[in-house]
Chain A
Amino acid sequence: MKHLSAPVAPRWEHFPHGADVGIRGVGPTLDSALEQAALALTAVITEPHRVEARETVAVSCEAPGAEELLFDWIDAIVYEMSTRGMLFGEFSVRVAGNRLTARMRGETADRARHEPAVEVKGPTFTQLLVSHDAAGGQWVAQCVVDV
């Protein structure tokens, strides 16, 4: 059963929610799932590949559980996008215990090049989930974001 032991390919996707958007990151590790969830967040606004990695921003947050950590991680990215006027297209996450540290690479939002669709206001608890399928070696990190 070779396919069962093959590493899960990191990926992100959106899922529908009424007026807003669900973001989902999938990966072989929690770190990877959180990185993919962040790409899904950027994809709500623009296509991540359009964002050039010109500047690096470091963030960290701490929370008692994985779901709260995802909530705070998304909150931290939204804060940095909002106050710096930037978009981010690359994320490198490391979770150790209750603490997340990350480096994000991106650039100042450019209306012509990024054609941003909508601002994200913040994370929500709706469909907030961090799960680990040990048999399949897959982590999922998801929530609905308010736009």
Chain B
Amino acid sequence: MDVSVLEKIHEFEWRREPTAGMTVPVVVYATEDLIREMDDKMLEQACNVATLPGIVGASYVMPDGHWGYGFPIGGVAAFDANAGGVVSAGGVGFDISCGVRCVATGLKIDCIRAVQETLADALFAHIPAGVGSHGKIHLDDAGMEAMLRGGAHWAVERGWGTPADLDRIEENGRASGALPDAVSARAQERQRGEMGTLGSGNHYLEVQRVAEVFAEDAAAAFGLAVDDAVVSIHCGSRGMGHQIGTDYLREMERAAPRHGLRLPDRELACAPLRSDLARRYLGAMRAGINCALANRQILTHLTRGVLADILPDAVLDLVYDVSHNTCKEEEHGVDGRKRPLFVHRKGATRAFGPGHAELPAAFQDAGQPVLIGGTMGTESWVLAGTRGAMQLSFGSACHGAGRRMSRHQATRQWNGRDVVRELGRRGITIRAAGIRGVAEEAPGAYKDVAAVVDAAHRAGLARKVARLEPVICVKG
């Protein structure tokens, strides 16, 4: 993207003042180099979001912003129901509540190295991943409704985790206001056999080494130290979330004229927050969030079982679980007064600062853990929310690296077996359901996550706490 189309506020903040139809500006948090890597479509989409009714503050783009569906990925936008605001299915995305969970193991990485191949095989054997994989849990109608209302609480009640886990999950492991009745029969059917499955694409389960610590205070609060082994899980609401997204995208697009909405892009399909359609979508989306939280909880349980067999000294305590495809009702200070807002984070992570009422006691001083997923060959990050982000971006930060090239380009550039071999030489064990998927997810197909994280840190959206390097990666 040509940076000259944006006004430079400072090295890490760029702005596009409102033009035709926009009621608020676009604010991009990134370096000049990152903006040059962003596509023109991203800015067009951020400008389109700025035209939606009831948007408050600005249409924000995080340092990993790129071309998405309607909303840019890395987009944050808040809407006020009292000002005619809307909720958008595209603003949440298809994989509702896709997110990252980081789990401490109580082990140093040397313990993992001693059993690395065995552990990789066992994780791959016990974590259902990839096309056509199904979990061992099959939900009947009553179980489905309980799961959709209960989220991770439902999973813990069934023995797939401990009550202590729940304190370390955004919203304490359950989105309130879920409406199972608003989830179509098709969406429910897609999920019946998919609980406790990883999925495919950029989703993964990794065993990682804490390679570097940047903020000792926050790292101590999060329970992380150099050379610790942790497990990170990146996945979402599986078939159910996707079907909810598809169902409501279709319905919102059809209903837009009835709601007096003129959409600059069909993918921006949305509904006024005060409409029945919005009420049903929010209820279904919250059920989708609970599905994702339950799914990551079950995957954690499966991981605990594998480690208990191979490394009986392991104690898997959650560091945190945070989603990056959501719309959440939150209270934010705007122009000196508190306002209830519906904050869309599409490929963006909630990043609440120290002292926020929603954070557990353990994080009151450090701020919320912000988990940034990387690639199988580079690194992931743990950041901490800042007080400043509450003003800069409604308490939001980036979520990952973003692709540098398409899947097709990646398969032409890399052979999956070569990628596995090369990573093996670097001490990283890959177990994947499909070898073409490995080529599509090759580390070189992604942008530099370190540059994204550095921009987020220097813009004040979140501060660096720890850098994590992959040791074992299980891919769908």
Contact = CB atoms under 8 A, between A and B. Distances in A.
Interface in A111-147: 111, 114-119, 121-126, 128, 146-147
A108 B132 CA distance: 8
B95 A116 contact: no
A55 to B, nearest CB: 14
A97 interface: no
B132 A109 contact: yes
Nearest to B440: A117
Interface in B322-350: none
Interface in B110-169: 130-132, 134
Interface in A72-98: 72, 75, 78-79, 82-83, 85-87
Nearest to A72: B250
B408 A121 contact: no
A116 B189 CA distance: 22
Contacts of B192: 83
Interface residues of B, number: 47
A8 interface: no
A8 to B, nearest CB: 24
A21 interface: yes
Contacts of A126: 69, 267
Given A82-B190, A85-B132, A19 B434 contact: no
Contacts of A105: none
B190 A146 contact: no
Interface in A5-37: 14, 16-21
Contacts of B266: 125, 128
Interface string B55-91: 0000000000011110001000000000000000000
A118 B104 CA distance: 29
Interface of B: 39, 66-69, 73, 94-95, 130-132, 134, 186, 189-190, 192-194, 199-202, 239, 242-243, 245-246, 249-250, 253, 265-267, 269, 402-403, 406-409, 433-437, 440, 476
6 contacts: A17-B67, A118-B200, A119-B200, A125-B267, A146-B94, A147-B407
Which 6 A-B pairs give the minimum distances between C-beta atoms? A109-B132, A116-B131, A16-B406, A117-B436, A121-B242, A125-B266
